[in-house]
Amino acid sequence: MNIFLSNTVNKIDAKGRVSIPSQFRSVLENQGFAGVYLYPSFTTQSIDGGGESLINQIAQSIEKMQLFAEETDALATALFSETYQLNYDQDGRVSLPGSLIKHAGLKDRVTFAGIGQKFQMWEPSAFESFKNDARIKALQNRDLIGPSVNFSKNSQVDE
């Protein structure tokens, strides 16, 4: 499968380096790049990450917009000028830019959370809170997935 799944917590060293989880590196390498694209999330206090597939999808979406519109330039600037293309070393580590560390409020640990075509990097306690809220919203909106997926209507959320 060529999507990002699961979540894990990794340490950030004193130099701001963190190891990209091996299963995430496999997805990235299957897309033809031994590295990662990272940018500040627009919707949460986290970092969005992905590979060639994600960055190409973003570029194609922006290319469909009106070429000389202010909205197009604003979106392209916000996305592309704040995206970092980072190669990882032989140990699978990347050096996180200070602006991304600050945006996500990271200290010495980071939670990597796979969310399909991309992944997010969170301060661990912030992710736990977000994940709990997301589970509640997902259960409330499970009918949006369609009839082919059978979720139990008796599912409970641990509180």
Of 56, 6, 49, nearest in space to 28 by CA: 49
Q: Where are the beta strands (DSSP E) in 4-82?
A: 7-11, 17-19, 35-40, 47-50
Question: Could you report the per-residue pLDDT of 32-72, keeping only the tens digit for each?
Answer: 888 999 999 999 999 999 999 999 999 999 999 888 889 99
Of 118, 145, 153, nearest in space to 46 by CA: 118
- Domain-wise residue ranges, the chain: 7-124
The pLDDT mean for the chain works out to 91
Q: Extract the tokens encoding 105.
A: 């409020």
Q: What single DSSP character describes residue 148?
A: T
Interval 131-155 mean pLDDT: 77
- Give the C-alpha separation, 111 to 121, whole Å: 5
Domain 7-124 top-level CATH class:
alpha beta
Q: Extract the tokens encoding 116.
A: 């399909």
Of 108, 125, 93, nearest in space to 22 by CA: 93
Kindly tell me if the per-residue pLDDT of 155 is higher than 60. Answer: no
Kindly tell me if the per-residue pLDDT of 125 is higher than 50. Answer: yes
- Give the C-alpha separation, 85 to 55, whole Å: 10
Interval 116-142 mean pLDDT: 96
The pLDDT of residue 159 is: 43
Kindly tell me if the per-residue pLDDT of 76 is higher than 90. Answer: yes
Q: How far is CA 58 from CA 50, 79, 98, in A?
A: 11, 8, 23
Q: How far is CA 71 from CA 68, 74, 98, 99, in A?
A: 9, 5, 27, 24
Question: Could you report the per-residue pLDDT of 80-104, keeping only the tens digit for each?
Answer: 999 999 999 999 999 999 999 999 9
